Amino acid sequence: MTLIKSISGIRGTIGGKTKENLTPVDAVKFASAYGTWLKTKTKQKPKVVVGRDARISGEMIQSLVMQSLVGLGIEVIDLGLSTTPTVEVAVTNEKANGGIILTASHNPKEWNALKLLNKKGEFLNAEDGNIILELAENEDFEFAQVDDLGKILKNNTYIDFHIEQVLAHPLVNKQAVKKANLKVVFDGVNSTGGISIPPLLKALGVEVVELYCKPTGHFPHNPEPLEKHLGELAKLVLDEKADLGVTVDPDVDRLAFMDENGKMFGEEYTLVSVADYVLSKEKGNTVSNLSSTRALRDVTEKHGGQYFASAVGEVNVVAKMKEVNAVIGGEGNGGIIDPKLHYGRDSLIGLALFLSLLAEKQIKVSALKATYPSYFMAKEKIQLTPEIDVDQLLLQMKDNYKNEEVNTIDGVKIDFEKKWVHLRKSNTEPIIRIYTEAPSQEEANQLASKVINEIEILVKR
C-alpha cells in the first residue's frame, strides 16, 4: 500500500498503517497542515471550499478533513459530491482562501487524495506546497479555542452554477449545438461526471444516453479514460447509432471522445480540437506540456498563433499560459484549460466547446479527426539501479543530440523534423520515462527502442 506526498497534496490507498497509507490520522494531519498554512495568509477567519468525487472512501475522508479545519477555526463550504473544476470555480466565487478536492483522479477505488488549492482556485506552487509538507511532518498545529471553532455551511448549488458559467461562455454556441440534434452516449464511471455532464448536455439540447451515471463510487471498469477500458461505451455508441461517445475520469478534469464508429478520437486530440475551435474565433497563443502531441503546435501555427511548451504538471501549464497570455491550453491527457472560465482543467467547458465546433462544422467526429495532423505515441520506461546518476545520464543524452532542437525545462526533450522524444526521471523511483511521437506507430516505437538502447549503452560504460 502507498502514501505519496507532493506539493499539490497527498494521495494514497485507504486502510493499513499510518504514514504508509491514507489513513484517518494522515487525512487529519495533512488537512491540519493546510489549514495552519492558510491561517498565516490572512488576519480574518479563513474560508475553505471542500468537495469530493464519488469514491467509496470520500465521505469518510471529507468528514475528517472538514472537522480538522473546523478545529482550526476555519469556515468550511461543503459542496459534497462535486467535480475538481467545480470546486475551483467555487473558490473564486465564494472569495474563499482556498479549497480541498478529495479525489484520486483516475486511480482505482482503493485510492483517495487531498488536492490543495490556493485562493485563486488553482493548485499550489512548489514553495507553498513544501511549507505544508513541512508543517505536516512536524505536526506544528495550534487548534482554536472552543469559542473560536469554525463551522460548516453546506452548498449543493455549485454544479448548476458551473453549468451556467459554461453556457454563458462567449464561444459556446448553444444555438448551433441545439440545431445539430446530436445524440451522445456518456460514461460517467459511477462518479460525479454522472451528475454534471448529463445536465450540461441536456441544457445544450443534446440527447443523452447515460452509462454508469449513478455516483456510487463503485467503478464498473478501470476509471482511466483509455480505449482499453471503454468497450461498453464503444458498443453502446454503435447500438444507439449515436453521433459520439464521451467519458471523463472520476473527478471530471480529463475528457475523452469516441467517434460514431466506436473508435477513440484520442485523448491528445481533445485539446487539439478545442484549440482549433477557440483559435478560429480568437487569435492567440497556446500551451501544453512537453509530453503532449505536436499536433497542437501545428494547429496553433495554422491559425497564426505561437505554441509554447511547459514542464509536465497542471500548475506548470497554468504558469506558462499566464506568462504568454495563452487563449487556450491544457495537457494531452484530455485536460482543457480555458482562462476565460478559470485556470484549471475542466471537462465541462471542454465538452461544450467541442460540441460547438462539431455543430458549426456540421461534420462527423471521424471526419473531424481526419482534418488534423496524424501523430502516434509510444510511452515506455527504463528501470535503473538506485546508484545510477539519472541527471548525469540525461545530460549525456542532451549532449548526444546537441545538433537537434533540445528543451531541458523538464528532463530532456529532443525535437526532430517530424518526431520527438521526451526523457524524464521519475520523482519516486529510479526510472526514466520515455515518450516519443512520430507520424506512424512503427516510427514512434522505433524511436523509443533506439533511445532505450542508447541509454543502456551509457549505463554500461
Mean of pLDDT values over 281-302: 97
Rg (CA), the chain: 22
Mean of pLDDT values over 240-254: 97
The three cell numbers locating residue 110: 482503493
CA–CA distance, 298 with 321 (Å, rounded to integer) = 18
CA–CA distance, 163 with 15 (Å, rounded to integer) = 36
CA–CA distance, 176 with 118 (Å, rounded to integer) = 37
Q: Is the pLDDT of residue 77 over 90?
A: yes
Would residue 82 show up in a list of annotated catalytic residues for this protein? no
Question: CA angle at residue 328 from 327 to 334, to 5 degrees?
Answer: 175
How do 326-331 and 307-310 pair as beta strands? Answer: unpaired
Long-range contacts of 154-157 (CB under 8 A, 24+ apart): 154/78, 154/80, 155/77, 155/78, 155/79, 155/90, 156/79, 156/80
Among 23, 6, 5, smallest CA distance to 14 is for: 23
Task: Look at residue 175 in the predicted model and tell me its pLDDT.
Answer: 98
CA–CA distance, 150 with 72 (Å, rounded to integer) = 7
Q: What is the pLDDT of residues 164-196, one digit of tens each?
A: 999 999 999 999 999 999 999 999 999 999 999
The model carries a pTM of 0.95
CB 406 within 8 A of CB 397: no
Q: What is the pLDDT of residues 79-102, one digit of tens each?
A: 999 999 999 999 999 999 999 999
DSSP code per residue over 239-262 = HTT-SEEEEE-TTS--EEEE-TTS
Q: Is the pLDDT of residue 428 over 70?
A: no
Residues 6+ apart with CB under 8 A from 196: 83, 86, 159, 162, 163, 252, 348
DSSP code per residue over 63-99 = HHHHHHHHHTT-EEEEEEE--HHHHHHHHHHTT-SEE
Task: Look at residue 384 in the predicted model and tell me its pLDDT.
Answer: 82
Q: What is the pLDDT of residues 299-354, one digit of tens each?
A: 999 999 999 999 999 999 999 999 999 999 999 999 999 999 999 999 999 999 99
Which phi and psi angles does 330 have, rounded to 5°? 155, -155
Among 450, 453, 420, smallest CA distance to 435 is for: 420
CA separation (Å) from 264 to 19, 123, 227, 270, 291?
A: 40, 30, 6, 11, 19
Comparison of pLDDT for 287 and 6, the residue scoring more: 287
Q: What are the E-state strand segments in 19-149?
A: 47-52, 75-81, 98-102, 111-117
DSSP code per residue over 278-340 = HHHHS--EEEEETTS-THHHHHHHHTT--EEEE-SSHHHHHHHHHHHTEEEEEETTTEEE-TT
Q: What is the DSSP code (8-state) at residue 210?
A: E
Active-site annotation holder among 6, 32, 57, 105: 105
- The CATH superfamily label for domain 376-460 reads Alpha-D-phosphohexomutase, C-terminal domain (3.30.310.50)
Among 202, 189, 203, 209, smallest CA distance to 251 is for: 189
Among 159, 180, 138, 149, smallest CA distance to 88 is for: 159
Task: Look at residue 143 in the predicted model and tell me its pLDDT.
Answer: 97
Task: Look at residue 1 in the predicted model and tell me its pLDDT.
Answer: 54
Task: Look at residue 190 in the predicted model and tell me its pLDDT.
Answer: 98
CA–CA distance, 174 with 169 (Å, rounded to integer) = 10
Q: Is the pLDDT of residue 389 over 90?
A: no
* Burial 247-259, CB ≥16 within 10 A → b, else e: bbbbbbbbbbbbb
For the chain, the domains span 3-156, 162-369, 376-460
CA–CA distance, 294 with 288 (Å, rounded to integer) = 10
Residues 6+ apart with CB under 8 A from 4: 10, 11, 12, 428
DSSP code per residue over 395-434 = HHHHHHTTTSEEE-SSSEEEE-SS-EEEEEE-SSSSEEEE
Residues 6+ apart with CB under 8 A from 230: 187, 221, 245, 247, 256, 258, 264
CB 298 within 8 A of CB 278: no
Among 294, 287, 334, 262, smallest CA distance to 416 is for: 294
Q: What is the pLDDT of residues 99-153, one digit of tens each?
A: 999 999 999 999 999 999 999 999 999 999 999 999 999 998 999 999 999 999 9
Region 162-369: CATH code: 3.40.120.10
Q: Is the pLDDT of residue 368 over 80?
A: yes
- The yes or no reply on domain 3-156 and CATH 3.20.20.80 is no
CA–CA distance, 358 with 371 (Å, rounded to integer) = 12
CA–CA distance, 44 with 225 (Å, rounded to integer) = 42
Domains 162-369 and 376-460 share a fold: no
Q: Which residue has the cell 473546523?
A: 70
The three cell numbers locating residue 182: 446530436
